[in-house]
Amino acid sequence: MIIVTGGAGFIGSNLIRALNERGESNILLVDHLVNGRKMLNIADLNIADYMDKSEFIEQIKSPTFLNGVRAIFHQGACSATTEWDGQFVMKNNYDYSKRLLHCCIEKNIPFIYASSASVYGNGDHGFSVDRRCEHPINMYAYSKFQFDQYVRRLLPETTSPIVGFRYFNVYGPREQHKGSMSSTAFHFNQQVIEHKIAKLFEGCDGAANGEQRRDFVYVGDVVDVNLWFLDHPELRGIYNVGTGKAETFNNVARAVIEWHKEGNIEYIPFPEHLKGAYQSYTQADISGLKTAGYAKDFLTVKQGVTKYLDWLNLGVN
């Protein structure tokens, strides 16, 4: 059996879909479906069982519960960067992850988990997997950073397969439940459909209007990286998962407008509440992935957005 926590979420549900395409259906999906609309992400997936996160946390205390498990993809977390209840975030993202990690080490189960590029903060020191680059600026980022630190301390003490992925700006199918936290590609698509206008922030941090740049990575590429490491359990460590190339928000908007063959860009004032807590530039250093042997090309924004909108608006997989 394979376990996917956060399996009804964005990346988790895409992982399960890809596993299904490999012929895998002996999958335990773990989630916390307070938002029942997430079931739309999993209605077309084949799994062996579903378990609520709270029950799963209790069950892993049993010494035999994880017997026969081939791998765990730990995607479950509180992912809201605007959540400032530190106790809540650390309990869900740090304590939970530690508990599951130790269970996997005890049984030598490959543990593949989601970290985040948010650990780099405003990126003043770069985006390499290096302590000198890491300076989280919100609770979500801190919880991910602190778990990475915990993993770093444990790695020399075990030979168990442990891999963490620092996801950059992921976009693509099955993210609609995230609301305001959905990608700009999702929001621009809705705006163009409804108003024929894509709304972008005015310039900030020295960038011109809409010229803030991020490393936008298509969810299918993220899934491919996860499965490649599943197939290479000899590899361990923490890796950036992005394209390695920053593109502008203008590029994302233009790709959406080009797909619809109509629409314009409108620039709106930069929100006060985001000043000092916004990444105007991200670009993954993916040298670690390349050194590990991962050689598949990542989609550009134009390629990925086109594929995403085909799925979002036409139902094309």
Domains in the chain, CATH or no CATH each: 2-169+217-244+283-298 (3.40.50.720), 176-213+246-281+305-314 (3.90.25.10)
Provide φ and ψ at 62, rounded to 5°.
Answer: -70, 130
Active site residues: 140, 178
Task: Determine contact, residues 213/247, Cβ cutoff 8 Å.
Answer: yes
Q: What is the mean pLDDT of residues 98-103?
A: 95
The distance in angstroms from the start CA to the end CA of the chain is: 26
Helices (H), the chain: 10-21, 39-42, 53-59, 86-90, 96-107, 139-154, 184-195, 219-230, 249-260, 287-292, 301-314
Mean pLDDT of 85-102: 90
The model's pTM is 0.95
**Closest Cα to residue 68, out of 2, 113, 160?**
2
User: What is the percent of the chain with per-residue pLDDT over 90, rounded to a whole number?
Assistant: 82
Report yes or no: 6 and 12 within 8 Å, Cβ to Cβ: yes
Locate tokens 């259906």: which residue? 25
Query: In the block, which residue shows the tokens 């799994």?
Result: 47
Distance between CA 241 and CA 202 in Å, rounded?
Answer: 28
Q: How many C-beta atoms surround the C-beta of residue 256 within 10 A? A: 27
pLDDT surpassing 90 at residue 86: no
